[in-house]
Amino acid sequence: MYTSFQLAKKYINYYLSAANGKGHGTHSPFVFDFILSVLNNRQHYTPPAEIEALRQKLLADSTEIEIEDLGAGSRKDTSQKRKINNIAATAVKPKKWSHFLYRLVAHYKPQTIIELGTSLGISTAYMAAANPAAHIYTIEGSSAIQQKA
């Protein structure tokens, strides 16, 4: 077993010597392009601020709806009635992952996108903004959540 000092030393050595974070040494052209153009390129793609305003509006909405959950269910709340702000806080993808989806769709420009488990539609809005020409098919099991999205 390593001591705390030895672990810290190993981590620092790894951090200073790891070189693949920028794509160098990656053999696959697709993965190299993915690392450079999607993962590491944040200044080229700027998602619309209206989507984050919509997220804030949903986080402030305390309307209670009755849901029928056909998926894996919520680990946080197992009741049939849930508030919109609770769903927005637990089921909607965080801003970091929404921006990643935006960059991914903006870079590769897919013609068709299928989303299962739409929830409140924030991720869908990011993907639609990234490529307005794409056909997005989205499926949500709960009709009450679908109406809100």
CA 50 to chain centre: 16
pTM listed for this prediction? 0.73
Tokens 């810290």 correspond to: 8
pLDDT of residue 118: 80
The answer to whether residue 146 scores a pLDDT higher than 80 is no
| 149/104: higher pLDDT | 104
User: What was the pLDDT predicted at 127?
Assistant: 94
Task: Choose the most confident range, by mean pLDDT, from 23-32, 33-42, 96-105.
Answer: 96-105
**Band of pLDDT at residue 133, cut at 50, 70 and 90:** very high
Give the orientation angle of helix 95-108 with respect to helix 122-130, to 10 degrees.
Answer: 30
The span from the CA of 66 to the CA of 142, in Å, is: 9
pLDDT > 80? residue 101 = yes
Averaged pLDDT, 12-21: 71
- Please state, rounded to an integer, the average pLDDT across all residues of the chain: 82
Helical spans, DSSP H, in 1-142: 4-17, 29-34, 49-60, 84-90, 95-108, 122-130
CB burial of residue 96 (10 Å; 0-12, 13-18, 19+): exposed
**Cα 63–chain centre separation:** 24
Number of Cβ atoms within 10 Å of the Cβ of 56: 10
